[in-house]
Structure 1
Amino acid sequence: MSEQNGKATIELRLRDGAQLFNTLDPFPFREGDIAAEADAYIVDWARDLPKDAPIAIVIHLERADAADRPVPDLATAITSWFASRARTETQALRELFRDGRLVFAIGFAGLAACLFLSWLLTQGSEGPFARVFQESLIIIGWVVIWRPAEMFLYDWVPILRRRKLYRRLAGAHVEIRPD
């Protein structure tokens, strides 16, 4: 990791371009999957970069690819891969809020039912047992609503953070340098 031309730079040293891709993937280039190790390396370094600086990725290749294999377009493969990851995070965010709305409706109904039962069952009775029963139903009702509240208040933040990082990586300037 370094800083060049006002861009935070991530540098990779590879034997050849094929090392960047998942070897089990039948689509070896533009449509292919980046190897999990390469993805993790780039993402880990990108997390440490300044949040406001544009990103550059420099790939140093020790040797050119074999003549019998087509040369992969590494720049397009990397930016497309991270653009796809950003779209996946956008979809995950949509699903979280859709599921959150459903879970909130269920939780709210559960809370209302617990509060109503608490009121109904303790209407005619007094004493410590009735009070314990009433408070227990109230606590259960609030526990039922906790997960939906957690989804809307906290769970979306890491998804948004990852999406922003993947979008930055998708917009990165990728440079290939033969060694």
Structure 2
Amino acid sequence: MPEQNGKTTIELRLRDAAQLFNSLDPFPFREGDLAAEAEEYILDWARDLPKDKPIAIVIHLERPDAPHKPLPDLATAITRWFAGRASAETRALHELFHDGRLAFMIGFVGLAGCLFLSWLLTRGQDGPFARVFQESLIIIGWVVIWRPAEMFLYDWVPILRRRKLYRRLAAANVEVRPPQA
């Protein structure tokens, strides 16, 4: 994990620039998709880097592209890719909270319904069967509200963690080093 100018560095060694992109993508640069293997490699390294330092990505090309073919703008392609992923995580977070609000309303109505039904059906009833029935409805009501609570308490944390990582990678300084003669 070398450092350059206060930035932690991720280094990639590629045969050529095309190896970085999805081969099925009809627009292989700027707008194109990174190859899943390349993305995962970068993400794995980035997760291990110190969280308080900026990231630099250095790409070593073993052989240049054909002379008639211009070298793609790898820096722009990589940073745009991760900026797009960060935006997708922001949308996922908004959707989670939207779905969570809907689930919470449904869960709250379900909990209230179970509590009311428990009270209504066991009103004036004594005995172990009435008590078991009452407690069962209360448990069902709390189970109905559990998933919305889980969404608001826990599910957003990994989304924020991924978004922060993608933003760091989108802001990374990307340097392409041609093969050494």
The corresponding residue for 2:23 is 23
Residue 6 (structure 1) shift: 0.8
The corresponding residue for 2:66 is 66
Matched, 1:110 2:110: yes
Instruction: Provide, for residues 60-79 of structure 1, a one-character-per-residue CA deviation record: whole Å limited to 9, x for no partner.
Output: 01111113434210000000
1 CA distance for matches of 2:70 and 2:25? 15
2 CA distance for matches of 1:71 and 1:61? 11
AA aligned to 1:33 is D
2 CA distance for matches of 1:97 and 1:68? 50
Q: How does 1:1-179 map to 2 (within 5 A)?
A: 1-179=1-179
TM-score by length of 1: 0.98
Residue 95 (structure 1) shift: 0.4
Query: What number of residue pairs does the alignment pair up?
Result: 179
2 CA distance for matches of 1:83 and 1:5? 23
2 CA distance for matches of 1:132 and 1:69? 76
AA aligned to 2:29 is F
3-state SS of 1:59 partner? strand
AA aligned to 1:140 is I
3-state SS of 2:31 partner? coil
3-state SS of 1:23 partner? coil
AA aligned to 1:133 is F
AA aligned to 1:20 is L
AA aligned to 2:129 is F
TM-score by length of 2: 0.97
AA aligned to 2:61 is L
1 CA distance for matches of 2:68 and 2:143? 63
Identity %: 82
Residue 28 (structure 1) shift: 1.0
2 CA distance for matches of 1:62 and 1:81? 23
Instruction: Provide, for residues 79-135 of structure 1, a one-character-per-residue CA deviation record: whole Å limited to 9, x for no partner.
Output: 000000000000000000000000000000000000000111110211000000000
1 CA distance for matches of 2:70 and 2:121? 75
Structure 1 residues 137-146 or 63-72, which shifts more? 63-72
2 CA distance for matches of 1:36 and 1:68? 28
Question: Unaligned 5+ residue runs, structure 2?
Answer: none
Question: Unaligned 5+ residue runs, structure 1?
Answer: none
2 CA distance for matches of 1:23 and 1:70? 18
3-state SS of 1:63 partner? coil
3-state SS of 2:43 partner? helix
